[in-house]
Structure 1
Amino acid sequence: MLTGAIAAAGFGLRYAPGLSIFSPMILAITVGIGMQNIVGTPVAAKAGVTFALRRVLRFAIILLGLQLTVQQAMAVGVMGLGAIVLTLVCTFMFTTWFGRVLGVDRRLTQLIAAGTSICGASAVIATNTVTGAKDEDVAYAVACVTIFGSMAMFIYPLLPGLLHLNAHAYGLWTGASIHEIAQVVAAAFQGGQDAGEFGTVSKLTRVAMLAPVVIVLGLIAARRARGNATAPNQASAPIPWFVFGFLAMIVVNSLITIPADVKATIVIATTFLLSMALAAMGLETDLAKLRAKGIRPFLLGFAAFLFIASFSLALVKMIA
C-alpha cells in the first residue's frame, strides 16, 4: 500500500508545473528517497517494500513486453536494427571499461551501463535483479540516466538542422541513444510526426534488447558465484526467468491484436508497477551512503551519455 501510494503520488506530481517532463518512475523514487531520509520507512512496511522490489518489479518487466511487436522491430530495417544493437553493445562495453579506469564499483558500473545503453530506469532495476547491487547504487544509476536523458531531451531537438538529419535519421538517432522511453517520445516528436513515430519504434526495439543483456549478465554472475563457491555464505546468482516472460509477451503482442484502449491501460499499469518498484527502491536508499560514492560514478554516467550520443550519430549518418 505504501509503495502504491508513492507511485500514485508520482503520477499526480506530473501535473505540477515543471514536473511533466519527468516520468512517474523518477518522481516515485524521489518521493521514496525523501520519505526514507526525512521520516524513515515504517517497520510494518518492510515486507511490502521487499515484495515490490522483487515480485512487482518482475511482473512489470514482463508486461513491458506488450509494448513491442516483432513487426515493429522489423520496420526499423536491417541497417537501423544493426545501428541500435551496435550502439547498445559498444556503449555497454565502453561504460564497463571506463568504469574500471575511474575505479567505480563493478555493480554500479553495470547499472549505469545498462541504464544508458538500453532503457533508463527500467533497465537499471531489471539489471539489478542479477547484479545484486546495493539500493544506493540503484538510486545513483537512476539519477544519472535521468539527468543525462533529460539533457538529451532538451538538446536533441535543436540539432537536426545543424546536423543535416532528415525525419527518419533524427528519429533513429533519438531512439538509439536517449535513455528513457518518455524522453525519446518528447524529443523525437519535436522533429515532426514521422520522426516521432520512428523514434518511438526504434526505442521500443532497443528496449527488447533488455532480455539478452540481463540473461548474459545473469550467466556471468552465476559463473562468478560458482568461482567463489568456497567463500562463506556465497549466494548463487539468480536466473532471470522473468525475462523469458518479457519475450513471451512480445510474441503474444505480435500474434494477437490488442485493442488500442486496452493497450493504453496496460501501458499505464506497467508504468505504475515500475513506479511502485522504484518507490520501494527509494524507501531503501540512504542519502548519506549515496553522497559517499563521490563524483566518479557521475562522471562515468556523463561519459557514457556522450559516447552513446556521438557513436549512434556517427552510425546514423553512415546509413542515412
Structure 2
Amino acid sequence: MALLGQRPRRHTGEHGDKHTGEHGDGERTPARPAGPNPPRRGVPDPLPGLALAAGGTALAWAVHRLLPGVPMLTAAVVLGVAAAHLPGTGRFASGAGRPGLSMAGKRLMRAGVVLLGLELSLGDVLGLGWATVGMVLTVVASTFFGTLWLGRRLGLRGDQPLLVATGYSICGASAIGAVGQARGSDERDTAASVALVTLCGTLAIVVLPLLHHPLGLDGAQFGRWVGAGVHDVGQVVAAARTAGETALGEAVLVKLMRVLLLAPLVAAVTVSAVRGVRSGRGGRASGDGEPGGRRPPLVPLFVAGFLAAVAVRTTGAVPADALEAAAAVREFVLAAALVGLGSAVHLPTLARTGVRLAVLGACSWVVVAGVSYAGVLLTS
C-alpha cells in the first residue's frame, strides 16, 4: 500500500503523461504497460487534513486557556467531532481532508504514546508501596475484563468492547489509540470508543469532586481514588486539583502507574492478533489494519519507544526543563491525533449503537469507580 505523504513520481515514455493526472500516480516502481489491472490513481495528499488537525489543536489550546477546567485533549476530541458535522467542514473532513486526518489519528497518536513514557519514573511508581500497586492491578484487571465481557454480551460491533475496556482501565484515548494501532481496528470503532471514554472522563471532572467529602475521603485518599478511577491524564489532573496539591500528587502517581500497564496490554493484544492470523480467524493484525498483512512484531515499535522513554526518565538524567518541553509537545501531538480521531465519529452511525454503548460506558464507570474506592479504603 502506498504510504501517505509519498511524493508522486512522474514517468516518462509512452504512458508517462497518462498516469500523472492531478493526483499523481504514487507508484514506487516504474510504470507498467496497461493491462487487465489499471494503474493506481495516486497517493492522496495528507497536507489539507493535517492543516485542519493543526487548526483544531490550536483552537483546543485556546479553549483550555480560556477555560482551564476543560482539558486540552477533551476539547480536541469535541472539536474533531464538530468538524465532521458542521456544514463548512464536514464535506472536507470526509473528502479531501480524510487522508491527513487519518494520518494524524494514527501516526501522531503513536508519537504521543512514546512521549507519554517520559512522564513515568519506575522509582516514583514503586514508592507508592506494594499495597497501592496491588490495588491498581486489581482495578485495571477487573475493569478491563468486566468491560470486555459486558461489551460482548451487549453485541457491540467490531473491536468496540476491547477498545472501551482498554480506555477505561488504562489511560483513556491514548490507550485506545495504542491498542487500536496494534489490533488494526476499524477507524470508526476507535473513534466511537474515544468519544465515549472522553465523555465519561469529562463528566468525572465534575462528579468526583462533589463526592469527595460525602464519601469521607481525605486529600490523599481522594487523589488515589481519582488516579485509579479517571481515564485520561488531563482529566485526572483537572479532577484532583480541586482537593489540593497532596491530592494532585497522589492522583498523578497512581494514574501513571496505570499508564505503565499500557505496554504489556498492547503486547498481549498483538500476540492475540498474531495467533488469530495464524489460525485464519483474525485478518486485522497488520499495522495498517489490512487483511493478510505481514505479521506484526510482538512489541510494536511505538511501544518499544514508550518503554525506552520510561527507562530514560528513570535514569534521572533528563533535565526538568526538557521534561516540561516534552510534556508540552506531547499534549499538542496527542491533541492533533484526537482531532483526527474525533473527525471520524459519525453521529448517525453512533446513535444506532448509542444505547448499548452508553450502557457499557455507565457500567464500566461504576466498576472502575467502585473497585478503586474500595481499594483506596483497604490500603489506607
Counterpart of 1:261? 321
CA contact (8 A) 2:176 2:194 kept: yes
CA contact (8 A) 2:74 2:202 kept: no
The Cα offsets for residues 261-292 of structure 1, whole Å up to 9 and x where unpaired, read as 32222111101111111112233333332222
How far did 1:50 drift?
A: 3.4
Are the structure 2 counterparts of residues 266 and 228 from structure 1 closer, same or farther at C-alpha, using a change threshold of 3 Å?
same
Are the structure 2 counterparts of residues 166 and 278 from structure 1 closer, same or farther at C-alpha, using a change threshold of 3 Å?
same
Is 1:293 equivalent to 2:353 in the alignment? Answer: yes
Match of 2:274 among 222, 226, 229: 222
How far did 1:260 drift?
A: 2.7
CA contact (8 A) 1:130 1:218 kept: yes
Match of 1:188 among 196, 221, 240: 240
* Higher mean C-alpha deviation, range 131-140 or range 247-256: 131-140
Is 1:304 equivalent to 2:364 in the alignment? Answer: yes
Are the structure 2 counterparts of residues 96 and 237 from structure 1 closer, same or farther at C-alpha, using a change threshold of 3 Å?
farther
Is 1:146 equivalent to 2:201 in the alignment? Answer: no
Sequence identity percentage: 32
If the length of structure 1 is used for normalisation, what is the TM-score?
Answer: 0.91
Match of 2:63 among 10, 13, 31: 13
Counterpart of 1:29? 77
C-alpha distance in 1 between matches for 2:353 and 2:282: 30
C-alpha distance in 2 between matches for 1:208 and 1:129: 18
SS at 1:295 equivalent: helix
* Higher mean C-alpha deviation, range 77-86 or range 256-265: 256-265
Is 1:115 equivalent to 2:167 in the alignment? Answer: yes
SS at 1:274 equivalent: helix
C-alpha distance in 2 between matches for 1:234 and 1:221: 12
CA contact (8 A) 2:276 2:282 kept: no
C-alpha distance in 1 between matches for 2:215 and 2:98: 51
Counterpart of 1:249? 309
Give the alignment of 1:11-160 within 5 angstroms.
Answer: 11-16=61-66, 19-37=67-85, 38=87, 39=89, 40-41=91-92, 43-160=95-212
SS at 2:213 equivalent: helix
CA contact (8 A) 1:99 1:106 kept: no
Runs of 4+ off more than 6 Å: 229-232
The Cα offsets for residues 144-186 of structure 1, whole Å up to 9 and x where unpaired, read as 2222222222222233433332333222111111111122112
CA RMSD of aligned residues (A): 2.2
Q: Which has the higher contact order (CA 8 A, sep 6+)?
A: 1
Q: Which amino acid aligns with 1:87?
A: V
How far did 1:237 drift?
A: 6.0
How far did 1:236 drift?
A: 5.2
Are the structure 2 counterparts of residues 258 and 233 from structure 1 closer, same or farther at C-alpha, using a change threshold of 3 Å?
closer
Match of 1:166 among 218, 239, 245: 218
If the length of structure 2 is used for normalisation, what is the TM-score?
Answer: 0.78
State which structure, 1 or 2, has the greater radius of gyration over its C-alpha atoms.
Answer: 2
Counterpart of 1:234? 292
C-alpha distance in 2 between matches for 1:117 and 1:230: 24
- Paired positions, count: 318
C-alpha distance in 2 between matches for 1:214 and 1:230: 16
How far did 1:142 drift?
A: 1.7
Q: Which amino acid aligns with 2:142?
A: C
The Cα offsets for residues 201-222 of structure 1, whole Å up to 9 and x where unpaired, read as 1111111111111111111122
C-alpha distance in 1 between matches for 2:65 and 2:372: 33
* Higher mean C-alpha deviation, range 199-208 or range 253-262: 253-262
Long gaps (5+) in structure 2: 1-50, 284-289
CA contact (8 A) 1:60 1:273 kept: yes
CA contact (8 A) 1:130 1:214 kept: yes
Long gaps (5+) in structure 1: none
SS at 1:15 equivalent: helix
Whose helix fraction is larger, Structure 1's or Structure 2's?
1
* Higher mean C-alpha deviation, range 196-205 or range 162-171: 162-171
SS at 2:170 equivalent: helix
Is 1:313 equivalent to 2:373 in the alignment? Answer: yes
The Cα offsets for residues 76-130 of structure 1, whole Å up to 9 and x where unpaired, read as 1111111111110110000011112211125001111111111111111111112
* Higher mean C-alpha deviation, range 21-30 or range 304-313: 21-30
Q: Which amino acid aligns with 2:292?
A: Q
Are the structure 2 counterparts of residues 258 and 46 from structure 1 closer, same or farther at C-alpha, using a change threshold of 3 Å?
same
* Higher mean C-alpha deviation, range 160-169 or range 262-271: 160-169
